[in-house]
Chain A
């Protein structure tokens, strides 16, 4: 069964790019969320295998969302999708329990590699 992925990003273009990339690689995107608060709800709803999580988003940012999700499901596999210059935030997210990260702009390979690696564990 294809692994289920929840894509969280406030930019529709970014969500589309990620969705296309992972769908082509055989994963199933179960849903999308445009901010952290929605992400938490959708995570509850779908229990996806992997979440790709943007950091800067309105309402609730990615780090807040990671904390909330991990608090309920410590095994949640969250890959941070970040931009150059957000080092500190990534580290914070990882300490909060995110399992990996990639840096925008990314090549398709990278996000796939990251997803594959978190799934393998």
Chain B
């Protein structure tokens, strides 16, 4: 059947095409019929039809077939797009999405009959067969990654491969595919052999060489070869021969019992093999799709499994660790007063290695990046639907959709953005009538904007609606017990608006089914902070609101402050560290039996990490305090010693340990030991909530 990788490629492409269709429908609705858009939709539907049929998703194939037919008529000028038709089309798109969800594990049965009937209505009476231009177009989904006909290797051949691997050569399986109308196939095969012999050795072919020589094969044949060249070099070399459509080169691994005692699991090797296969298959797919498949938007890509990228990232992590070790070593030597050439050389190597790993890290980081359009692209449709429902007119402006973010962040940021967008439409932007009376343009503006700023990505969600009234927020906050009247009184407008992020607060005057889902702004802030981001709000009543989200570029490697506690090392993500200070015991005050310190006029709760983590800590008069959190929610954390800053690679604690309060992961240190990473957000939450009233009063 189909492997996970194949399914992955199928789903990726399905999502891509669904997006094309969705965009296309919106364009049809906004700008009317255009041949290019119709053609694009037609082609996307056609692609899905083909690949879903291969995968055996009959309903999806049937539905997209019907869509394809409809667009074929439109393309031929036999049908016109009407607004009623667009509604039906959106319905079909929704059904298609349901079918997609079912593929990924939804269990609801999807009934496609009603929508099929509606679509069919547009060309009822005309007999419609599996026919015409649809079938004549090449399928854009290649059958790449298949493995059924790969030659089995005999023991002797495996021995040769093993030998070759030991000598540092590579072994590959190569599938060569000739042009459909290739002449003198046997000579082509001969040429492939000829080229490969120049770069290595062909140890097996399927069909066997004698049959290849006689031309007794169809369009494809498989080879196993050893060579010192890379897979890509071989592939390019073979593709340099005329009338060869494709060459898929995948590395062969042999189980390694015989020559190494480490026990890297076979599963891992298979996974990486499969990943490279998918990558090749995907690359091939792009390469052999000259039929104008590439719409202007599409970037040429190779699909790489996330696992593989994660592995690469881990390897870079190892390098970073080694570099840190070397740094430390150089430092040690320098402090040893032995200032000679050796020390200079080592510092130089260390510097250079630092540069190289830095670059490598950047490159791999880039490979993990996805354009934020992956998230933004859902909004046009959603905004349209909600605005429709509420009778509002909204112009959605999207800027910087090509801005790239780490894929992990992309996965998480969707939810909070969705909430902010919903809020803006629901509560921010007024109805057309209201806007007219206020003398504002009838069409409201909602802007999504992303851009790169230093080491951050900034996302702005902005509307020109009614804005947030600080007085009303204060009032609501007092009512809900989020804050007491006295402190509300003293708050600046900015602080008052920030109250919307407090737990238990919701600005919704009336609960609508759109944003009144019990997900408050506190959850939005939480989600963003989970990925080491921050969110800020600016608003002027009557003019509009702006949410500014700042996100780190990646989650995998961060800078951290290393501290020691009971002889063990802990890491504080630097993004959440405000400063570090030394205090003496008599600076600690007691407020309501809790220890607090005053730093530049602010009262901060003090947490003794040793106590929290059940460790025995040294009794000292001077205490090292790490101040963590955001400007409005700070906590001082007492540790034994401050060690210094360093880059760390975040590793998960794994499913088995699960979530441990106060810890967000682990990292591997230069000496190979494991250090725990402190979950700063959780600590701040745990201790500011308890201390809220205290700090408000004392401040």
Q: Do A and B bind each other?
A: yes
In the complex, what residues of A have CB within 8 A of residue B240's CB?
A: 117-118, 120-121
- The 8 sampled A-B contact pairs (Cβ below 8 Å) are A79-B242, A82-B184, A94-B191, A94-B194, A101-B191, A101-B242, A110-B243, A113-B242
Residues of B within 8 A of A38 (CB): none
Q: Closest B-chain residue to A89, C-beta based?
A: B187
With a cutoff of 8 Å between Cβ atoms, the chain B residues found around residue A121 in the complex are 240
- A87 lies within 8 A of B187 (CB): yes
Q: Are A100 and B194 in contact (CB under 8 A)?
A: no
User: How far apart are the CA atoms of A102 and B183 in the complex, in Å?
Assistant: 8
Across the interface, which residues of A come within 8 angstroms of B242, CB to CB? 79, 100-102, 110, 113-114, 117-118
A84 part of interface (Cβ distance < 8 Å):
yes
Report the minimum CB–CB distance from B229 to chain A (whole Å). Answer: 14
With most chain B CB atoms within 10 A of its CB, the pick from A95, A110, A118 is A110
A103 beta carbon closer than 8 Å to chain B: yes
Residue A90 interfacial (CB < 8 Å): yes
Contact A90 B184 (CB under 8 A): yes
Question: Is A91 in contact with chain B by the CB < 8 A criterion?
Answer: yes
What chain A residues lie within 8 Å of B183 (beta carbons)? Answer: 84, 103
* A101, B184: Cβ atoms closer than 8 Å: yes
Residue of B nearest to A119 (CB): B240
- Taking a contact as CB atoms closer than 8 A, the residue among B187, B239, B243 that contacts A90 in the complex is B187
For B183, B239, B242, B243, the residue with the greatest tally of chain A CB atoms inside 10 Å of its CB is B242
Contacts of B190 in A (CB 8 A): 91, 94
How far is B194's CA from A113's CA once the two chains are assembled, in angstroms? 20
* CA A90 to CA B240, docked complex, whole Å: 17
Which residues of chain A from 71 to 121 have any CB-CB distance to chain B below 8 Å in the complex? 79, 82, 84, 87, 90-91, 94-95, 100-103, 110, 113-114, 117-118, 120-121
Q: How far is the CB of B325 from chain A (nearest CB, A)?
A: 44
Chain A nearest CB from B194 CB (Å) reads 6
Taking the complex as formed, is B302 at the interface, i.e. its CB lies under 8 A from any CB of chain A?
A: no
Between A and B, how many residue pairs show CB distances below 8 Å? 41
The complex places the Cα of A70 from the Cα of B240 at a distance, in Å, of 19
Any chain A CB within 8 A of the CB of B186?
yes
Interface-centre pick from B187, B190, B239 (highest chain A CB count, 10 A): B187
Q: How large is the interface on A (under 10, 10 to 19, 20 to 34, 35 or more residues)?
A: 10 to 19
Q: Of A87, A110, A117, which one neighbours B241 at CB under 8 angstroms?
A: A117
Name the 4 nearest CB pairs between A and B, nearest first.
A114-B242, A103-B183, A100-B242, A90-B187
Bound: A100/B195 CA distance, A: 11
- Taking CB atoms, residues of chain B closer than 8 Å to A110 are 242-243
Are the C-beta atoms of B194 and A87 separated by less than 8 Å? no
B489-538 with Cβ < 8 A to chain A: none
B187 near A113: Cβ-Cβ < 8 Å:
no
Note all chain B residues with C-beta closer than 8 A to A120.
240
| In contact, B191 and A100 (Cβ under 8 angstroms) | yes
- CB-defined interface of B171-197 with A at 8 Å, one 1/0 digit per residue? 000000000000110110011001000
Whether A103 contacts B184 by the Cβ 8 Å rule is yes
Residues on the A chain within 8 Å of B194, using CB: 94-95
Q: How far is the CA of A100 from the CA of B188 in the complex (A)?
A: 9
- Chain A: minimal CB distance from B213 (Å): 9
Question: A84, A94, A95, A113: which contacts B243 (Cβ < 8 A)?
Answer: A113
Known: A87-B184, A103-B183, A113-B242. 15 other contacts (CB 8 A): A87-B187, A91-B187, A94-B187, A94-B191, A101-B184, A101-B191, A102-B243, A110-B242, A110-B243, A114-B243, A117-B239, A117-B240, A117-B241, A118-B242, A121-B240
Q: How many Å lie between the Cα of A102 and that of B240 in the bound state?
A: 14
Q: For residue B187, which residues in chain A have a CB less than 8 angstroms away from its CB?
A: 87, 90-91, 94, 101
In Å, the complex CA distance between A83 and B424 comes to 72
Q: How far is the CA of A95 from the CA of B187 in the complex (A)?
A: 11
Using Cβ atoms and an 8 Å threshold, which residues of chain B touch A90? 184, 187
Question: Using a CB-CB cutoff of 8 Å, which residues 50-83 of chain B contact chain A?
Answer: none
CA distance A5 to B187 in the complex (A): 24
Least Cβ distance of A49 to chain B in Å?
Answer: 15
B420 to chain A, nearest CB (A): 50
CB distance from A47 to the nearest CB of B (A): 21
Question: Chain B: which residue is nearest A113 at the CB level?
Answer: B242
Closest to A102 in B: B242
Task: Name the distance in Å between A27's Cβ and chain B's nearest Cβ.
Answer: 15
Give Cα A69 to B187, complex, Å: 22
Contacts of A79 in B (CB 8 A): 242
CA distance A3 to B624 in the complex (A): 73
Q: Report B-chain residues with C-beta under 8 Å of the C-beta of A114.
A: 242-243
Report how far A79 CA is from B183 CA in the complex, Å: 15
- Please name all residues of chain A whose beta carbon is closer than 8 Å to the beta carbon of B184 when the two chains form the complex: 82, 84, 87, 90, 101, 103
Instruction: Give A84 to B184 CA distance when docked, in angstroms.
Output: 8
When chains A and B are docked, how far (Å) is the Cα of A38 from the Cα of B184?
A: 28
Question: Min CB distance, A105 to chain B, in Å?
Answer: 10
The smallest beta-carbon distance between A70 and chain B, in angstroms, is 14
C-alpha spacing A118/B243, complex, angstroms: 12
A95 to B191: give the CA distance in the assembly, Å: 9
Residues of B within 8 A of A117 (CB): 239-242
Instruction: For chain B, residues 277 to 331, give those with C-beta under 8 angstroms from any C-beta of chain A.
Output: none
